[in-house]
Structures are given as structure tokens and as C-alpha cells.
Amino acid sequence: MDRFSEYRIMWVLVLFDLPTETKKERKAYALFRKRIMADGFTMFQFSIYLRHCPSRENAEVHIKRVKSFMPELGDIGILCVTDKQFGEMEIFCNCKPKPPETPCQQLELF
């Protein structure tokens, strides 16, 4: 099996809606966002962050890490899709089609 198959490479999307009404909630929101960004997630849209992973096993490591970062309040969803599925996404900016961004080269240590 090809190690870098578009069916093996995964994208992990974290979608969240966290409360920000109190100072404590804003701090929890900022900490969650800071932690997922430190783990390699980048903003796709407001409250939607994504990360490119070389395999399902690697994606599971990052999913577990995101779960450990979750604040006590709010709604968080985690979606894992193959590179092939992610490449089929249609993206529109100001109602004009926009090609999906190519992932940055991610180093993998053995």
C-alpha cells in the first residue's frame, strides 16, 4: 500500500462554539484555541480549525490531544476526512469558486 495515498492521509477538523460572555469563559476559549494551534491546527474559518496528518494513526493522536484540551462549557465537534475527500471540497469566496489550498509540507520524524 502506498504510504502517502490520498486515502491514507487524513485531515482533522475541529469545529467549536464556545461561550465568551464572562472573563472565565473568554479565558477558556483563548486557552483552547491556543492549545490546538500549538498542536499544529490552523484556522480554516472562524471556529473551524484543521490539521493535515500523514495517517489515521497520527490523526488519532491529535484527536486525543484535542479532547484533552476541551473546556467544560461549549460545543466541540471533531471530524476526520481523507485527503481525497478534503480535495473534493468546493470552496467559494465572495460567491466565486476558489481552489482548495495545498497543504504545507509537514515533516514526519521516524
What is the pTM assigned to this prediction?
A: 0.80
Helix, strand, coil shares, percent, the chain, to 5: 30, 30, 40
110 belongs to a structural domain:
no
- Assess if residue 4 is contained within a domain: no
Instruction: Examine residue 57 and state whether it is found in any structural domain, yes or no.
Output: yes
Cell output for 53: 496528518
Instruction: List pLDDT tens digits, range 20-36.
Output: 999 999 999 999 999 99
Residue 41 lies in a domain: yes
Contact call for residues 14 and 49 (beta carbons, < 8 A): yes
Contact 44, 10 (CB under 8 A): no
56-62: average pLDDT: 96
- Domain range spanning residue 59? 10-98
Give 74-87 pLDDT, tens digit per residue. Answer: 999 999 999 999 99
CATH number for 20: 3.30.70.240
On the question of pLDDT at 108 being above 60, the answer is: no
**Cα distance between residue 67 and residue 63, in whole Å:** 6
